[in-house]
Amino acid sequence: MPTRSSRSHFLAGLLGALVIALPLTGLAIGGAFSSSSNAPSGAAAVSPSAAGSSSKAPAAAAAPARSATDVSALYERVSPGVVSVVVSGAQGSGSGSGFVIDREGHILTNDHVVDGAQTVRVRFEEGAPVAARVVGVDPSTDLALLKIDPAGRELRPLALGSSSALKVGQPAIAIGSPFRLEGTLTTGVISALERSINAPNDFSIDGVVQTDAAINPGNSGGPLLDASGRVVGINAQIATSTQANSGVGFAIPIDTAKQILPQLKSGKEIKRAYLGVESGDAETGTGAVVGAVVPGGPAAAGGLRPGDRIVSIAGRAVAGSSDVSAAITGLRPGQEVKVGVRRGGDERTLTVKLGTRPAQAQPG
């Protein structure tokens, strides 16, 4: 497993995604979080009679029908494959969630859940905690792969779906251990697609799935499921001003995880192409406006300047800043690419030899 400098991950606030006004908070839980919650002062339980209905119960009350939103059967089928992840290290203890992906004992979770951990244990629905080791990590996607000894265990891997065909409004189901409350299920919908959030190393994670299913500290690394119980995302962050759920949660697309799983299993460092610019959306028209160029980086060597408007990379049109990251993601370190820019009133094409992404994003 590649080594890197230790970062604080317990109560980590992963801030700065441009598309979200509220802070984005990683969902690993450390000792400073309280497991209690306070109900709103105006909240009250309303009985049928208090709501103005007759005190006589309707005939159907004795045998309620299963509603279309009843996911109890799905929960019974899927929950044995969801685990609580408990870690300890020099900075204290913390916890998150994860899920089994195969019968060999591999468990997927978030990188920020296990970063800096000296010991890792996972807890299933039943039985004592099980020792796990970190096989591979990828801070750029906030993903980590654990492994336990499968001997003598009847593991129940979760089916991996696809995030590419998701649509806004489709059902979304989260299972995890918020506030260390293991096996908690919440439901909602896919509320938006193609969001961008910051990874633990401050690079951008694109194509992120947004949901209003309640996720809270401790849900990190748990699965976001579709109506069939297939994993479509890995819960990672929330937009909040209170460190608790406000109806806006974010999950790493499962397709992103599937792309790097072979490398995570091998324990090899995942190398990515690197351009070396900070950019934002143009106020008018299309393109990504370069705000800063990393000194000595590939973009600087290729002639990009602050104020340039990037309109294409390697023949791929750039409509906004998220397209810059998406275009570079599909390329290789060392590859030479044509970057189309507008500078002043002129359009020009620059040739840039891409570098290798550093361990941490570098300010321009």
Show which residues are catalytic: 112, 142, 220
CA 335 to chain centre: 28
Q: Are the beta carbons of 122 and 146 closer than 8 angstroms?
A: yes
Q: Are the beta carbons of 274 and 358 closer than 8 angstroms?
A: yes
User: Three-class SS of residue 264?
Assistant: helix
SS (H, E, C) 166-179: CCCCCEEEEEECHH
What single-letter DSSP state applies at residue 287? S
Task: Give the ranges where 12-143 is alpha helix by DSSP (H).
Answer: 72-78, 111-114
Q: Measured between alpha carbons, how far apart are the two ends of the chain, in Å?
A: 29
Give the list of residues 6+ apart from residue 211 with CB closer than 8 angstroms, or none: 172, 174, 188, 189, 190, 191, 224, 233, 249, 250, 251
- Backbone region of residue 92 per phi and psi (left: phi > 0; alpha: psi in -120 to 50; beta: other values): left
SS3 content of the chain, % helix, strand, coil (to 5): 15, 35, 50
Query: How far apart (Å, rounded) are the C-alpha atoms in residues 246 and 64?
Result: 31
